[in-house]
Amino acid sequence: MLTRKQHELLVFIDRYLKETGYSPSFEEMKTALGLRSKSGIHRLITALEERGFLARRPHRARALEVLRLPEDLGAARRQAARAAAEAAPASSNVITASFGRPRPTLPEAGSVSLPLYGRIAAGVPIEAVRDTGVLVDVPASMLSGGEHFALEVAGDSMQEAGILDGDIVIIRRADTAENGDIVVALVDQSEVTLKRLRKRGNTVALEPANRAYETRIFGPDRVQVQGRLVGLLRRY
């Protein structure tokens, strides 16, 4: 059994995740629940974690995950979905002509607004360009589970992988990756780069996809994976 505030917070986080693809900030949660301080939000989140409704991924900002919803809310959503399906008109194979009338427009595919953190360039850690307030709409089909964000590519070091200067890359936040994955890597806590990751014994190689650039080799403690490439948007 959840308290009223715990229930309100869980519903708010779940709705926010579905609408944006990432979890709300403590300030946004505080405002939504009408609390005076963020300490109350900390206590509510801890209680929801202990009851198995929320999970908080360590060492990451804004990384909450809803594990389950209260039974009453889950039942209400299932009932609403059934009612919507029953109310929908039956499909038909007959196409009705509409001469002289405007053609109906196709509905837009579902999309999610992701934070655009800025240009991924040497010397600028992701944390320095977080929360810029800029959002980019991404097809929902491009995203899987987890937290995502977008970055604008600067430079041509990955052009042979089809990633060009000015492209918007969609990144799923992660701190691990497989050999050959294209990742956002933080080097020496100061430089962020988009490269292909290769593990070579006790070292980590960051490979460009452009013969004009050299592969860089680092010790494992110097490279931190911040996310994996899952999609790309390009404007023509």
Same domain, 66 and 153: no
Domain end position, chosen among 21, 52, 71: 71
Among 54-58, 105-109, 125-129, top mean pLDDT goes to 54-58
86 domain residue, yes or no: no
What is the number of domains present in the chain?
2
End-to-end Cα spacing for the chain: 53
Q: Which residues are 150's β-sheet partners?
A: 116, 170
Q: What is the DSSP string of 88-104?
A: SPPP-SPPPP-TTSPPP
Q: Which residues are 171's β-sheet partners?
A: 149, 229
CATH of the domain at 217: 2.10.109.10
56's enclosing H/E stretch is: strand 54-56
Same domain, 59 and 133: no
Same domain, 61 and 115: no
CATH of the domain at 62: 1.10.10.10
93 domain residue, yes or no: no
Same domain, 148 and 217: yes
Same domain, 26 and 126: no
CB atoms within 10 A of CB 76: 12
Cα(191)–Cα(228) distance, integer angstroms: 16
Domain end position, chosen among 44, 71, 98: 71
Same domain, 124 and 65: no
Per-residue model confidence (pLDDT) at position 79: 53
User: What own/partner pairs with CB < 8 Å and gap ≥ 24 does 129-133 have?
Assistant: 130/61, 131/25
Alpha helices (runs of H) in the chain, residue ranges in sequence order = 4-20, 26-33, 38-50, 71-87
34-45, pLDDT tens digit by residue? 888 888 888 888
80 domain residue, yes or no: no
Q: Which domain holds residue 36?
A: 4-71
Same domain, 227 and 123: yes
128-157, pLDDT tens digit by residue? 445 456 788 888 888 877 888 888 888 888
Active site residues: 157, 195
Same domain, 117 and 226: yes
Domain end position, chosen among 22, 42, 71: 71
Cα(57)–Cα(64) distance, integer angstroms: 7
Instruction: Report whether 59 contacts 53 (CB < 8 A).
Output: no
Same domain, 218 and 122: yes
88 domain residue, yes or no: no
58-105, pLDDT tens digit by residue? 555 567 888 888 765 545 454 544 554 455 444 333 333 333 333 333
194-225, pLDDT tens digit by residue? 999 999 889 999 999 998 889 999 998 999 99
95 domain residue, yes or no: no
29 domain residue, yes or no: yes
